[in-house]
Amino acid sequence: MKNCIKTPVGKFMTNEVSKRLWIHLTVDSITNLLLVAEKNMILIVCNRLSKIAYLVVITEEMSAERLARFFRDNM
């Protein structure tokens, strides 16, 4: 093994942890599922910082405004 002749650049710096957890989200959906209890879509919301994923069963006919309210009230 070769000796490393480079001097260290500086102290190890960690990334700053955000105070707001829900800043970086990924959202995906699985559609056209069989109708069960009047629901036929799965919405997947994942927080990229904490790696928490939520699976929400909804209908395809849900509007974007209603979906945003549902997310705000239940997540």
Is residue 67 assigned to a domain? Answer: yes
Q: Could you tell me which residues are beta bridge partners of residue 46?
A: 26, 53
- Looking at the predicted structure, is the pLDDT value of residue 18 above 80? no
Which range of residues forms the domain containing residue 70? Answer: 25-74
Q: What is the pLDDT of residue 16?
A: 73
Which ranges in 1-75 belong to alpha helices (H)?
64-74
The reply to whether the predicted model has a pTM over 0.85 is: no
Q: What is the pLDDT of residue 49?
A: 78
In the block, residue with structure tokens 């190890």:
12
Please, what is the average pLDDT of the chain?
A: 81
Count of the separate structural domains present in the chain: 1
State pLDDT tens for residues 26-53.
Answer: 888 898 888 888 889 998 988 887 788 8
Q: What is the pLDDT of residue 8?
A: 66
